[in-house]
Structure 1
Amino acid sequence: MPLVTLTVRNGKSPAFKSAVLQAVHQALVASGVPETDRFQRVLELGAEDFRFDPVYPDLKSARTDDFVLIEILLSVGRSVKVKKKILADILEGVRREPGLDPEHVMVCFKETAWENWSFGGGRQLHV
């Protein structure tokens, strides 16, 4: 039940954003998330509202305006091994399409308890 938030600088094409979101979704599905469990949002911010260090902590190449921040909110319980696989799959996916340098992709996993989800109608599916 992941909720994906993609933050990019203003001006990215719909194809660019779709390709990144598709790579994330494919990685999640490969980890066992149902194909139809797609909840994604895109935040587009100007340079004054989306600030980032070009090289922190030890990048091989400086971040550019193509830098993307991917936040994945998911239920607790996935192992570090599973998260590493999701991360590797995301980076391979965005490298292929839209051609992002993996050094310019930041991924943040956030976890929440199962009882914190209601997909509609006030129903909590896993409580």
Structure 2
Amino acid sequence: MPFVTITVRKPKPAAFKDAVLRAVHEALVASGVPETDRFQRVLELAEEDFRFDTQYPDVRTRRTDDFVLIEIQLSVGRSVKVKRQIVDGIVDTLAGQGFDPENVMICFQETRWENWSFAGGRLIHA
């Protein structure tokens, strides 16, 4: 069960946020995540609350106010190959929609299965 958080600078229109979330979900589904396994949130922060370097470490174009940080928390076990597939799917989809890929940063966070309580306080994998 991936849990996706995107962080952007405000203000961003709903279409911008929807496009990013849709690209992430499509890439996750292509990697084997069930279509209905969609848990996403958007953090839209003021410039003073979301600071980032416009060039670090090796971006080809400067990051702009359209920079988006995508955090994907998921259970351990995905290979580097699968993570690359997810990253490529996200970036390719967004680039195809006119997003500058240099404005996209993706971070995976892995957690063990016993750390998820999906509902009702049940730890079904513990």
Shorter-chain-normalised TM-score: which range?
over 0.9
- What does 1:1-127 correspond to in 2, within 5 Å? 1-97=1-97, 99-127=98-126
1:56-84 CA deviation, whole Å, 9 max, x = no partner?
00111000000000000000000000000
CA RMSD, Structure 1 to Structure 2 (Å): 0.8
SS at match of 1:95: helix
* CA–CA distance in structure 2, aligned partners of residues 42 and 94 of structure 1: 17
Aligned partners of 2:54, 2:37: CA distance in 1, in Å? 33
Matched AA of 1:125: I
Q: Structure 1, unaligned stretches of length 5 or more? A: none
**Structure 2 portions without partners, runs of 5+:** none
Using the alignment, how far apart are the partners of 2:35 and 2:123 within structure 1? 20
Distance 1:66 1:77 in 2: 32
Question: Identity of counterpart residues, as a percentage?
Answer: 69
Could you tell me how far 1:124 is from its partner in structure 2?
2.4
Moved over 2 A (4+): 124-127
Deviations 1:67-107, CA, capped at 9 Å, x for gaps: 0000000000000000001000000111123x211111000
Q: TM-score normalised to the size of structure 1?
A: 0.96
CA distance in 1, matches of 2:104, 2:57: 13
Please give the TM-score of this superposition, normalised by the length of structure 2.
0.97
